[in-house]
């Protein structure tokens, strides 16, 4: 079986060396009887999406071309820190290419073995539940905003000035200018002009 290795280190910590991960992955691949045909290393945050990580993007393109049979990662957080949905997306892409995924630190994450389809299905199901919960929270927030007379938490139309027209006119007369009156009343010149319009 042909294996590709994927390693990632964060740029924020100069002490990190991807060889720490890769050495263990090479030893593991040898134990499994896999031939290592490619190595991909990213040196940036795992919070970035797959498309923003050049080495991972290359690994996924190579998977599409069937240049290897299984992608080995040191740990799941090396592959993605974008949550279950991001990981499920990567797993699904690999599965469509006929490529498996194994994690050294999470032995249960083995989409090559007999329960591979189940692993991918569970990840996809959890990701779907996560998306539905997010959508529910957004809908609940919008409903609450509507009940309080706003759209998306913003007031509908222009917000009313906390200054009456009479008080504004009095301030302008006393201070001799709209700019000074606006400053004293804590409103913009433009709002004050509009109020007195």
* Positions marked active-site: 10
* Residue 75 CA to its chain's centroid (Å): 19
CA distance 57 to 120: 20
Q: How far apart are CA 159 and CA 188, in angstroms?
A: 13
Cβ neighbours around 93 below 10 Å, total: 15
154 forms beta bridges with 151
Token duo for residue 194 = 């509009």
**Are residues 47 and 81 in contact, defined by beta-carbon separation less than 8 angstroms?**
yes
């Amino acid at each position: 079986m042909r294996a590709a290795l994927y390693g990632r280190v964060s740029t924020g910590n100069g002490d990190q060396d991807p060889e720490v991960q890769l050495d263990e992955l090479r030893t593991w691949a040898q134990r499994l009887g896999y031939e290592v045909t490619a190595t991909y290393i990213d040196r940036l945050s795992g919070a970035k999406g797959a498309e923003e990580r050049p080495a991972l993007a290359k690994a996924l393109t190579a998977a599409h071309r069937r240049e290897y049979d299984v992608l080995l990662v040191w740990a799941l957080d090396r592959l993605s820190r974008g949550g279950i949905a991001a990981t499920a997306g990567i797993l699904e892409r690999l599965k469509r290419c006929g490529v498996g995924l194994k994690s050294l630190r999470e032995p249960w994450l083995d989409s090559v073995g007999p329960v591979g389809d189940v692993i991918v299905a569970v990840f996809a199901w959890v990701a779907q539940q996560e998306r539905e919960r997010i959508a529910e929270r957004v809908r609940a927030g919008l409903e609450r905003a509507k009940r309080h007379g706003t759209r998306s938490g913003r007031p509908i139309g222009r917000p009313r000035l906390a200054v009456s027209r009479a008080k504004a006119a009095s301030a302008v007369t006393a201070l001799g200018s709209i700019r000074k009156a606006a400053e004293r009343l804590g409103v913009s010149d433009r709002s004050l002009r509009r109020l007195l319009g």
